[in-house]
Amino acid sequence: MDFLTSKRFITTALVFLVVLNVTLLGVLWWQNAHRPFSDFPNSGREFSRHPSFTAQLGLTEAQAVSFRNLRQEHFRKVAPEMEAITELKKQLLDESLSAKPDTKKIAMLAESIGHNQAAIERELALHFNALAQVCTPEQRGSLKKVLERFAARKFFGRNEHWAGRPPSGKNECTALPPSGAQR
At residue 129, the 3 state secondary structure works out as helix
Confidence of residue 148 (pLDDT cuts 50, 70, 90): confident
> 10 Å Cβ neighbour count for 117?
14
Do residues 120 and 80 touch, judged by C-beta distance below 8 A? no
pTM, 2 dp: 0.55
Q: 54-102: per-residue pLDDT in tens?
A: 788 888 889 889 989 999 999 999 999 999 999 999 999 999 999 999 9
Do residues 70 and 127 touch, judged by C-beta distance below 8 A? yes
Residue 1 belongs to some domain of the structure: no
Residue 8 belongs to some domain of the structure: no
Residue 18 belongs to some domain of the structure: no
Secondary-structure percent of the chain, ordered helix, strand, coil, rounded to 5: 75, 0, 25
Domain that residue 83 falls in: 60-150
Residue 73 belongs to some domain of the structure: yes
Do residues 69 and 53 touch, judged by C-beta distance below 8 A? no
Domains of the chain: total: 1
Question: What CATH number is attached to the domain comprising 66?
Answer: 1.20.120.1490
Residue 76 belongs to some domain of the structure: yes
